[in-house]
Structure 1
Amino acid sequence: MYTVVKTIPKGSRIQITLDNGISFILYKGEVRRYKISENATIDEKSYNEIWEILYKRARERALYILDDGYKTKKQIYDKLKSGNYPEDIIQSVISYLLEYNLIDDLRYAGLYIEYKSESKSKRQIVQDLMTKGIKKDVIDKAFEESDYTDEHSLNKILEKRIKRYNLEEPKELQKLYRYLVGKGYNYNDVKSAVRQYSHDTDMSL
């Protein structure tokens, strides 16, 4: 048996808190069906039925989120958490998604590295992926399995941006250096790449 200690209206739904500290949200019709009110008790059968409702709803929500694009485990967790789903419901849904390979942080990291390989440094990509909740060892493995190099990425950015700068002017040259170093590239690598790019350009004229 569980006792309802608090109910808070939230539009067409109601947030319910039980005496075991668990909180969840049901629609008003569901609240009426299970005769939920403050200080009322919920028996084991009703509790299990409610949990099944919440699980199916959370799973549908997760699948809907994935329709919008591939997501990390943390992104799914955060979305469901913001929907006030209980922790064990969220973990059950994540287990389901993992079982059917609907989320895979290693695959996500690999796709992200490939997508950003011509616009971001390794340092930036690592920071981005960690922000998305992917563990460092998973990121490292994704890089090992990729063809990514900072040299290739740096050269691609130079191809797009170098014409904006007058490399004969020291201030312009330093401005370009600052921009590239700010993107996470090593300063010596930047100097070398700019020098090589300028040389190749001159040779082609």
Structure 2
Amino acid sequence: MRIERVESLDKRKCKVFTDEDFAFLLYNGELEKYGVCEGAVLEERTERELLDLLSRRAHERALNLLKVQDRTEGEMCRRLFQDGYPDSIVQETIGFLQEYHFVDDARYAANYLQVHGKRKSQAELKLYLQRKGISREIIREQLEETEHDSGEAIRVLLEKKHYRAGETAPEEEKKIIAYLMRRGFSWEDIRREMKEQEDALS
């Protein structure tokens, strides 16, 4: 490994660039310890030691992040990349986390659906989980297992909006319907739940 460039990131760390572009971040003391400087060619043994160091550091960083909150595989990858870890170390760390189920996209999706499924539409649930980097296949599987009930979610939101069949003004009812449709619920499902309230009065 040939070191092409070393750039100061802050008072404590530097970015190290190799002939393959950006490689990793090191603390200033580590630059001296491993002989990392512009133009240096690192021996294979030194390279292995650096990778071991970065691997241990990435594992520790990932576990500390998980202490704060659960994260998806995609979120963890993005965070480790942002922290300056090379792709090989990020992928190795993700493998470690998956092995011990510290990150588990299926579990994350199941937990999210359990907590939020009663007040969000299926479209909202899917969009949120996709933005978290969870695959469409996992989302589909978890939605099937949890048997998402759009009707229950609509009833919760109608209650939240203080809808009362026979009492809510027509203009206000239109606003509530528009609100629910923006949330991803279908017109048919919304009308069905409203009609059930109406039928209960008769």
Normalised to the residue count of structure 2, the TM-score between the two structures is 0.93
> Is 155-164 or 110-119 further displaced after alignment?
155-164
Pairing 1:125-140 to 2, within 5 Å after superposition: 125-140=125-140
Offset at residue 20 of structure 1 (A): 2.8
**Equivalent position SS for 1:130:** helix
> Is 57-66 or 17-26 further displaced after alignment?
17-26
1:75-111, Cα deviation, whole Å (9 max, x unpaired): 1001001011000100000000111111111111111
Q: Do the aligned partners of 2:118 and 2:149 also contact (CA within 8 Å) in 1?
A: no
Residues in 1 aligned to 2:146 and 2:70: alpha-carbon distance in whole angstroms: 19
Residues in 1 aligned to 2:6 and 2:128: alpha-carbon distance in whole angstroms: 39
1:60 aligns with 2:60: yes
Aligned to 1:153: 153
Aligned to 1:106: 106
Offset at residue 169 of structure 1 (A): 2.7
Aligned to 1:119: 119
Offset at residue 195 of structure 1 (A): 2.7
Cα 1:165–1:13 shift into 2, 3 Å: farther
Give me the identity figure in percent: 27
Question: Structure 2 counterpart of 1:124, which letter?
Answer: E
Aligned to 2:193: 193
1:42-89, Cα deviation, whole Å (9 max, x unpaired): 111111101011000011011011111221100100100101100010
Residues in 1 aligned to 2:175 and 2:154: alpha-carbon distance in whole angstroms: 16
Q: Do the aligned partners of 1:25 and 1:85 also contact (CA within 8 Å) in 2?
A: yes
Offset at residue 164 of structure 1 (A): 8.9
Pairing 1:3-14 to 2, within 5 Å after superposition: 3-11=2-10, 12-14=12-14
**Equivalent position SS for 1:41:** coil
Structure 2, unmatched stretches of 5+, are none
- Give the aligned CA root-mean-square deviation in angstroms: 1.7
In the alignment of these two chains, the number of paired residues is 201
Aligned to 2:48: 48
- After TM superposition, the runs of 4+ consecutive aligned structure 1 residues lying more than 6 A away are none
Q: Do the aligned partners of 2:15 and 2:22 also contact (CA within 8 Å) in 1?
A: no
